[in-house]
Amino acid sequence: MIILESNARIIEDPLFIEVPLVNRKFKMYFLESLSRNTFIHLPTYEVLCDLPQDVEGCLVFDVELDDYSMLYAPQTKLLVKKVEIEVWDTIASGVYAVNFNTNQITIKRIRENDLIEKSTLTLYANPDTSGEGSITLKKSDINHIWKAYKMVSAPLPVND
């Protein structure tokens, strides 16, 4: 008989920080505030973190706001941080939320960053390289980019 010992431990004082939440209900208000460079009050979502600096300047994006994401199930919440425009040309592969054509947001994987040579950025919905659900954006159409750092909540898949 094998007895496994657990290394689980109780965290005495877990640190939860409220982070602004961008969901379907507030998507248009959020995008409008970005285009006007104004502040709006968003609902918040509690995120467990080690240090307050871990979530400084971050947002929580609800995957439901992206009808085209095949990477995550609806209701998945991702902790994201804005990528400054000065470094867009050097963005490496990863999962990003991209605001384009003023009122569109998509959450996809960046695999091809051709912003320097072709002024395009190609985003993929699928983890494979089939190209299904991919989108290529011109740099001039991109308004904002956020890098996803952490999945803070996700539903379990339902098998019918």
Tens digits of per-residue pLDDT, 44-102?
999 988 888 888 889 999 887 555 566 777 788 999 999 999 999 999 889 999 999 87
pTM over 0.85: no
**In this structure, are residues 138 and 114 in contact, taking their beta carbons and an 8 Å threshold?**
no
DSSP 25: G
CATH, range 15-153: 2.10.109.10
Strands of the 142-153 sheet, one edge to the other: 44-49, 15-22, 58-62, 77-83, 142-153, 94-100, 104-114, 120-124, 135-138
Element (H, E) at 150: strand 142-153
Per residue in 91-130, pLDDT tens? 988 999 999 987 888 888 898 899 999 999 999 886 665 6
